[in-house]
Chain A
Amino acid sequence: MKFKWWHGALILALFLAILSPLASSSPDGLEKVAEDKGFIDTALETSYNIIPGYVMPGIANDAVATILAGIIGTLVLFGIGYGLAKLLKAKDEA
């Protein structure tokens, strides 16, 4: 298979996923406002968990667990985005 531009783009996305353990763990903008203004406690726990907090459960090393979660998410979204676009195009041609 010939190397196409979007192969490079997907590799770049996977590279970013590998960098994910370097991300800042400070609260994000909304969380910070919620803490400062005193409504952080109104947040409800989720009723189920699959890969909560972008950390793959059952893996002792946090960095590895985060990278794995990142790679899974990146590949899943590539598949969904690609598949959806293909579906939208196929309908058009039919």
Chain B
Amino acid sequence: MHIPDGFVSTPVAAAGCVVAAGCIAYAVKATNKKMGEKQIPLMGVSAAFIFAAQMLNFPIAGGTSGHLIGATLAAILLGPWAGVLIMTCVLGVQCLIFQDGGLFALGANIFNMGIVASFIGYYVYRGGAWLFGGQRRGKLVGGGLAAWFSVVMASVACALELGISGTVPLSIALPAMVGIHALIGIGEGLITAAVLSLVLATRADLLELQKA
């Protein structure tokens, strides 16, 4: 869902950069007090894993592919603000080194896949895990659902940006983006649940770091 330059208008791109910069500044403040000894390597491997997993596009219906965003996973493990920072690192490197996602659209991409996806993912996970009993199954179901919602909501944000930019009418962009990402989100949900299950089996304590 990386927006290239040209898809969004200058005002939308500029607004994205301003909002993203503000959120990143706050995220630095918010995580500064919380970063414990265990979180240091966890943040490194989260960023590395999300980058690598994002390269693995999986095919979905109709000659389309999707890939993990990973914001939900990052937010579940490290909290939504650290999730914003991790996604900013991933999207920044993808943009600057790999020319994936436009330079001026970076703010909009951080907004969609970093900020929206992290926060939707985090709170749906918390709600879902509580609703389904908080144990292993609750965490996996909650995480999977959260991942699905995070992708769909990121695609809504992307469609809004395309619509406001006048690139394509919102009445066309919204159903098309949500429709396709409702399918891609299933992949995100399955991968997120699989990784959570791996973490629960090996280092379950890492999932308790966010119990504030």
Contact = CB atoms under 8 A, between A and B. Distances in A.
Contact of A78 (B7, B44, B53): B44
A21 to B, nearest CB: 9
23 contacts: A13-B48, A13-B49, A13-B53, A16-B49, A27-B63, A30-B1, A32-B62, A33-B173, A37-B168, A39-B7, A39-B162, A42-B7, A42-B167, A44-B5, A48-B99, A49-B99, A53-B100, A73-B51, A73-B98, A77-B51, A77-B93, A85-B43, A89-B39
Contacts of A33: 173, 176-177, 180
Contact of A28 (B51, B53, B64, B102): B64
Interface residues of A, number: 63
A5 B55 contact: no
A46 B63 contact: no
Contacts, number: 201
Interface stretch (B84-92, B125-133, B136-144): B84-92
Nearest to B151: A29
A76 B96 CA distance: 12
B26 interface: no
Interface of A: 4-6, 8-10, 12-14, 16-17, 19-20, 22-30, 32-34, 36-39, 42-44, 46-54, 66, 69-70, 72-86, 88-89, 91-92
Interface residues of B, number: 67
B42 interface: yes
Contact of B66 (A14, A29, A50, A88): A29
A50 B36 contact: no
B43 A16 contact: no
B167 A39 contact: yes
A2 B161 CA distance: 48
Contacts of A84: 43, 85, 89
Interface stretch (B15-23, B27-35, B115-123): B27-35
A10 B184 contact: no
Contact of B47 (A48, A69, A80): A80
A10 B99 contact: no
A44 B35 contact: no
SS class of chain B's interface: helix, strand, loop or mixed? helix
A48 B48 CA distance: 24
B97 A92 contact: no
A29 B85 CA distance: 24
Given A37-B173, A43-B4, A92-B32, A27 B45 contact: no
A16 B53 contact: yes
Nearest to B180: A29
A85 B7 contact: no
A27 B65 CA distance: 6
B52 A14 contact: yes
Contacts of B43: 81-82, 84-85
